[in-house]
Chains A and B, each alone.
Chain A
Amino acid sequence: MPGAANEFNEELAKAGRVADFLELGELFAKDALVREESAGGHFREEYQTAEGEAQRRKEFQFVSAWEYKGAPKDAELHKEELVYENIEVKERSYK
């Protein structure tokens, strides 16, 4: 890493961005592991319907908001409940 921390240092800023991407990537993976269902682009093979479609699970009907606690492994999950008034939540088939 060229230069020092206490000066205008674009290379250090780039390294910081790479670190951000890695940490965010780790948090994404953690979130995907916790969400034991399939939904849209988040597809887990063990959670699929007989037709191979995304299998939704009622207990995961929430938005995950991860609180920053330093390292991604320490991030704390806050659940924001999803309340649907006008639509019925069900598995879809695009076949």
Chain B
Amino acid sequence: MNLTLQIWRQKNAEAKGKIVEYPIKDISPDMSFLEMLDILNRQLITNGDTPVAFDHDCREGICGSCSLYINGEAHGPDRRVTTCQLHMRKFKDGDTIFIEPFRADAFPVIKDLVVDRSAFDRIQHAGGFISVNTSGNTQDGNSIPISKHDADEAMDAATCIGCGACVASCKNSSAMLFVGAKVSQYALLPQGQIEATDRVQNMVAQMDLEGFGNCTNTGACEVECPKGISLETIARMNRELIKASVKS
């Protein structure tokens, strides 16, 4: 396949960025999108140019590192996949592909297609955990009975990889699908109950502090989420928040 890439280049956070055109030839339809970018970078390095910076790590859809806004969609045109799992067969020979970073005030660009998503880490640090005494007398989690329904819903929420596609897809740059998933995974399980009040209040406060917007129920996040996190998690987060405000 021969393609025309239109890629966002930005030297650093302060620099003004722009779209730069790169033609690329002989791309196999079996390649992943990131492998195609590897080929481009090899060409750029060989020619003495600066390679395009993009985030990647596991390349099997579980680490949440890769991002990219491809032709106006987070993680590209395919559904329920991350950019590393997107194959070039989803495009046609001769296509022009626009590649931009995930855009949000709370995700400032570091370089080219790499954005700073540490705001998510800070939200997690604010409450995305449980505190367990590991003295040796701790009850084995597997011995606590949990209904199949709750276990499944908690597991579905826990599949969130924190990539930020929800934020990039949202017109309000809202992180509520992410925070909803992280709150839900604990709200549904007995281990999460002890710190439930503080958790939801602290995580939502940190989310607001980072400059993420709020949810207006458009649902773009749910469509673009590579893990299929449900909007129900946002409803559950709001329910937890109201519950917490009554309690505290």
- By a beta-carbon cutoff of 8 Å, the part of chain B in contact with chain A is 11-12, 44-45, 48-51, 53, 110-111, 114
Closest-CB distance, B117 to chain A (whole angstroms)? 14
Closest-CB distance, A12 to chain B (whole angstroms)? 11
What are the residues of chain A within 8 A of B114 when measuring CB–CB? 8
Is B51 a contact of A7 with CB atoms below 8 Å? no
Given known pairs A8-B12, A11-B45, the reply for A2 and B51 (CB within 8 Å) is: yes
Is A10 a contact of B12 with CB atoms below 8 Å? no
Among B11, B44, B53, contact of A10 (Cβ-Cβ < 8 Å): B53
- Report the bound CA distance from A8 to B52 in whole Å: 11
What are the residues of chain A within 8 A of B111 when measuring CB–CB? 7-8
What are the residues of chain B within 8 A of A52 when measuring CB–CB? none
What are the residues of chain A within 8 A of B45 when measuring CB–CB? 2, 11
Closest-CB distance, A47 to chain B (whole angstroms)? 41
Chain B: CB-nearest residue to A1: B45
- State the majority secondary structure of interface residues on A: loop
What's the tally of chain A residues with a CB closer than 8 Å to chain B? 6
What are the residues of chain A within 8 A of B51 when measuring CB–CB? 2, 10-11
Given known pairs A7-B12, A8-B12, A11-B45, the reply for A2 and B110 (CB within 8 Å) is: no
Is B53 a contact of A8 with CB atoms below 8 Å? yes
Q: Kindly identify, within residues 1 to 16 of chain A, every residue whose CB is under 8 Å from any CB belonging to chain B.
A: 2-3, 7-8, 10-11
- Most chain-B Cβ atoms within 10 A of its Cβ — which of A2, A3, A10, A11? A10
Chain B: CB-nearest residue to A8: B111
Chain B: CB-nearest residue to A10: B53
What are the residues of chain A within 8 A of B12 when measuring CB–CB? 7-8
What are the residues of chain B within 8 A of A2 when measuring CB–CB? 44-45, 48-51
Instruction: For the complex of A and B, list the 10 residue pairs with the smallest distance between their C-beta atoms, beginning with the closest.
Output: A8-B111, A2-B50, A8-B110, A2-B45, A10-B53, A3-B50, A2-B51, A8-B53, A11-B51, A7-B12
- Report the bound CA distance from A54 to B45 in whole Å: 48
Q: Kindly identify, within residues 63 to 82 of chain A, every residue whose CB is under 8 Å from any CB belonging to chain B.
A: none
